[in-house]
Amino acid sequence: MYELDQPQYLYLLAVVPVLVLVYLYIQFWKRKKQREFGDLDLVRKLSPEKSNFKPALKFGVVLLGLAAMILGLVNPKIGTKMETVKREGIDIVFAIDVSKSMLAEDIAPSRLEKSKQVVSQIINNLGSDRIGIVAYAGSAFPVLPITTDYSVAKMFLQGMNTDMVSSVGTSLEDAIKLSESYFDKKSKTNKLIILISDGEDHEGGAEDAAEEATSAGIKIITIGVGTEKGGPIPLKRNGVVESFKRDQNDEVVVTKLNQQSLREIAKATKGGYVYGGNTKEVLEYVKKALDNIERTEFESTQMADFQSQFQWFLGFAFLLLLIDVFLLERKTGWISKLNLFNEKE
């Protein structure tokens, strides 16, 4: 296996075809000017030592050297073996509310974006814990299974939106049940669900699901996002608010944070509740909660010993540029005798 350390530098390879086009244009321009000067055969006889092939060869060598330097900047890394790593940690599933009410902007920039920011910061402060992600609205949807790859987790996290789950409403029960299914029941690793929501629950049954999670040895920390005053749900097109969601009576729907339901879920699992308006306070609360949970040892298999290969590309580039310095545009005597390009009459 391999990975690219700085893949953004691959865009520099777009310079290569541009240079080729510039070179071909220059050659065309030179040929045109030579015809204006006089007969091409006569021009060649006036400079008998000039090679027609070597300028193209020199240009090709320079292009290869440039491409090798760019690949050196990218720094490909090759993994030499699979390794089983032993770690200590807990299993955490983030259950994130993606219902339409999470579009409300009573907390900046919106409830959903604030939730994603909070989860991202929590992940940044984790050590060797395994994490998974669940999205839910009227039903729950698996986003990312349990993993130790935090970079992949944050990539999936940023892609979450309110169109992920087609069913409307909010079902905290489904969110808890799907999150619970992520955990290996046979594993002795401690398990935690971090549920982020505005607390609106249109289905019911969340407390029963929380009690079932407790019997399975799972704790739940709930994070409330929004305000008790609430706010309307904006309907946007191309990022511009066109209107607000309305009910059957054509009145603007105002969605409010329901902290009570989130507190009851946390209480049922002997977990805890924290308001998500202040990211720093959330991080401190979660950190303190995690410090009180015993970490157990688990194994994870991953590619190890990724070794940088940039030196080979830079060395090859240096060799090509060195060749270019000594590669003159004059004909080489012994090659000229072979008449490889039928230059002799």
How many other C-beta atoms are found inside a 10 Å radius of the C-beta of residue 340?
Answer: 9
Which pair of tokens denotes residue 34? 């030579």
Full-prediction pTM beyond 0.75? no
Residue 86: exposure state from Cβ atoms within 10 A (0-12, 13-18, ≥19): exposed
CA–CA distance, 102 with 115 (Å, rounded to integer): 9
Which pair of tokens denotes residue 88? 């200590």
| Complete domains list, the chain, with CATH | 2-75+309-338 (no CATH), 85-300 (3.40.50.410)
**Per residue of the chain (345 residues), what is the pLDDT tens digit?**
667 778 888 889 999 999 999 989 988 887 787 677 666 666 566 555 566 667 788 888 889 999 999 998 888 887 666 566 667 789 999 999 999 999 999 999 999 999 999 999 999 999 888 999 999 998 999 999 998 889 899 999 999 998 888 777 788 999 999 999 999 888 888 999 999 999 887 777 888 899 999 999 999 999 999 998 999 999 888 778 888 888 888 899 899 999 999 999 999 888 899 999 899 999 999 999 998 888 877 665 554 566 778 888 889 988 988 888 776 655 555 455 555 445 554
CA–CA distance, 191 with 175 (Å, rounded to integer): 15
Where helices occur in 84-143 by DSSP H, the ranges are 111-124
| Closest C-alpha among 103, 123, 122 to residue 112 | 103
CA–CA distance, 197 with 195 (Å, rounded to integer): 7
Contact 26, 56 (CB under 8 A): no
